[in-house]
Structure 1
Amino acid sequence: MTMKYDFDKIIDRSGSGDLKHEVLAERYGRGDLLPLWVADMDFETPQFITDALRKRLEHSLYGYTIVPRNYWQTIAKWIEDHHQWRVEEQWMRFIPGIVKGIGFVINVFVKEDEKVIIQPPVYHPFRLTPEGNRRQVVYNPLRENADGSYSMDFDNLAEVADEKCRLLILSNPHNPAGITWDAETLRRLADFCSERNIIVISDEIHSDMAIFGNKHVPFASVSDAAAECSITFGAPSKTFNIAGIVSSWCIVPNERLRQPLFDWMAANELDEPHLFAPIATMAAFNEGEEWRQQMLAYVEQNILFVEDFLRKHLPQIKAVRPQASFLVWLDCRGLHLDHDALIDLFVNRVRLALNDGEMFGKEGKGFMRMNVATPRSVLKEALERLVLAAS
Structure 2
Amino acid sequence: MAGRRRLSGSSAAVACLLLASLTACGGHPPADTARRQVQQLLDLRAAAVLHHDPAAYAATGARAPYAALKAVPFDAWSYRVTALRRGAGTATADAELRYRVTGYDKAPVTVGRTLTLSTTADGKWYVTSDRPARKSAQQLWDQGPVTVVRGAHSIVLGAGQSDASLRGYAGLADRAVPAVSRAWGTDWSRRVVVLVPGSLDRMAALLGAPAADYRGIAAVTTGQTGGGDRGPADRIIVNPDAYGVLGPLGKQVVLTHETTHVATRAHTDAATPLWLSEGYADWVGYRGAGRTPEQVAPELQRAVSGGRVPTALPADGDFGFAGDAARLARAYEGGWLACRMIAAHWGEDRLEAFYRAVGAHGERAGAVEGALREVLGTTLEEFTDRWREYLRAQLG
- Taking structure 2 as the reference length, what is the TM-score of the superposition? 0.24
- Using CA pairs under 8 Å that are at least 6 residues apart, name the structure with larger relative contact order, 1 or 2: 1
Larger Rg over CA atoms: 2
- Taking structure 1 as the reference length, what is the TM-score of the superposition? 0.24
